[in-house]
Amino acid sequence: MAVVTGAASGIGQAIAERLAANRARVWVLDIDAGAAQRTAESIAHAGGKATALQCDVAQPESVTQVFTSITSAGPLDILVNSAGIAHIGTIETTKMQDFERIFKVNVQGTYLCMQAAITTMLGQSGGVIVNMASMAAIMGFSSRFAYSMSKGAVRAMTFSVAKDFLDKNIRCNCISPARVHTPFVDGYLKKNYPGREAEMMAELSAAQPIGRMARPDEVAGLAVYLCSDLAGFLTGADLPFDGGVLNLRG
C-alpha cells in the first residue's frame, strides 16, 4: 500500500499513476478533494487501485485523521511526500506570511506525514519513504529564498530519518529535480509573461544543459525505482534529477 501526497496534479499525480501501474494500491492525498478524486478515477479506469482522500498536510489534525483511516485498511509500505508549493522572491521581498506558508506546507507537511508513516512502519516489517527535495536545496537560484529554505530542510530531514531508522528496515531517500514542466510552470508563465509564454518556456528549458525541462512521468520513474526492492541498498541519498545542471552547466 502506497501513500502519495500532492497526488492530484503534476509530479505527485504521475507518481501515483506509476505506482498503481506497478500493482500498488495507492492512496491519493491532496488538499483539492475533487482533483484527487479525478486522479483516483483515472487510475481505476486504467486498471489500477486507488482511493482519494482530502488532506491538508500542513495541519496536524488532518494528517492524523487521514493516516488513521489509511492504516486501518492495511499495512503502509510506501510514503511519497510530493505535496509542496512554490514561491518567487528574495529575502528582501519575502513577507513573513509567505515564509510561514512555505514552511508549513513544504517542511511541516513533510515532517507530519513522515512521522505518521514511521509510527506505522515501526510496527510492521519496515517501509520506504521518498521525499521531493529540489536542486534549489543545494544550489543558488535567483529569487527562490523561501522555497530553497524549505527544500533544504526536506533534504536534511531525509538524511536524519534514514540514519535514525537504519536498523528498522525503513529506507528514506529524496529526489532533487531541476525544472519540471508541471501545471505550475504553465500558470506562472501565463500570469507573469502574457503573450510571451513560448519565448519564456524556451528560455527556462535552455537553463538545463540537456535543453529541456523534465517531465513528471520521468520523475515518477525514479520515485518508483526508489520505492522498489531494486533500490534495497539505497538509503540516505539525495538523487539529483537535473538534466546536467549540477555538473554540466557553464
- Report which secondary-structure segment, H or E, holds 2: strand 2-5
State the distance between the two ends of the chain, measured CA to CA, in whole angstroms. 43
User: How far is it, in rounded angstroms, from Cα 111 to Cα 117?
Assistant: 10
- Hunting for cell 508513516 — which residue is that? 117
Cβ neighbour number for residue 11 with a 10 Å cutoff: 27
CA separation, residue 60 to residues 111, 127, 162 (Å):
10, 22, 22
DSSP 180: B
Cβ neighbour number for residue 131 with a 10 Å cutoff: 27
Distance of CA 29 to the CA centre of its chain: 12
12, 27 in Cβ contact below 8 A? no
Grid cell, residue 11, equals 509530479
Of the candidates 147, 188, 193, 225, the residue annotated as catalytic is 147
Q: Give yes or no: 147 in active site.
A: yes
36, 114 in Cβ contact below 8 A? no
Grid cell, residue 35, equals 482533483
Grid cell, residue 37, equals 478524486
Residues in the chain: 250
- Report which secondary-structure segment, H or E, holds 3: strand 2-5
- As annotated, the active-site residues are 147
